[in-house]
Amino acid sequence: GAGVSQSPSNKVTEKGKDVELRCDPISGHTALYWYRQSLGQGLEFLIYFQGNSAPDKSGLPSDRFSAERTGGSVSTLTIQRTQQEDSAVYLCASSRRWGNTGELFFGEGSRLTVL
């Protein structure tokens, strides 16, 4: 497709369950980011993938969060043993430029609700 695609668009889960969120970046974009946006809040950096380099995981809030990017394209964000405070919109973005100095193209986001 022409833009960044995220799935699912909405996910409701029970506390303690694991969830997986998927991101398909724009073809050819080497940089991929995950951000979290809580209700009425800003964009909280989670993790950054750049080409084949080791990802920057410094924004992940706890060891329940992990992400991988297979083949330099699709990325999956996994949240284990979900908690109510994990409820938020998880936004993925990709960029074709290295070094965090290019335009980010965001997906529509995955809205996670933990009951």
Sheet containing 5-7: give its strands across: 5-7, 19-24, 75-79, 65-69
Alpha-carbon dihedral sign for residues 38, 43, 45, 48: positive
Is 106 an interacting residue with respect to another protein (CB under 8 A)?
A: yes
The amino acid occupying position 69 is R
Q: Does 1 bind another protein (CB under 8 A)?
A: no
- Three-state DSSP class for residue 86: helix
Binding another protein (rule: CB under 8 A), the pick from 26, 65, 109, 110 is: 109
Of the residues 66, 78, 100, 113, which one makes contact with another protein according to CB under 8 A: 100
| Residue 41 binds another protein, judged by CB under 8 A | yes
Binding positions for another protein, rule: CB under 8 A? 33, 35, 41-45, 48, 56, 58-59, 91, 99-101, 103-104, 106-109
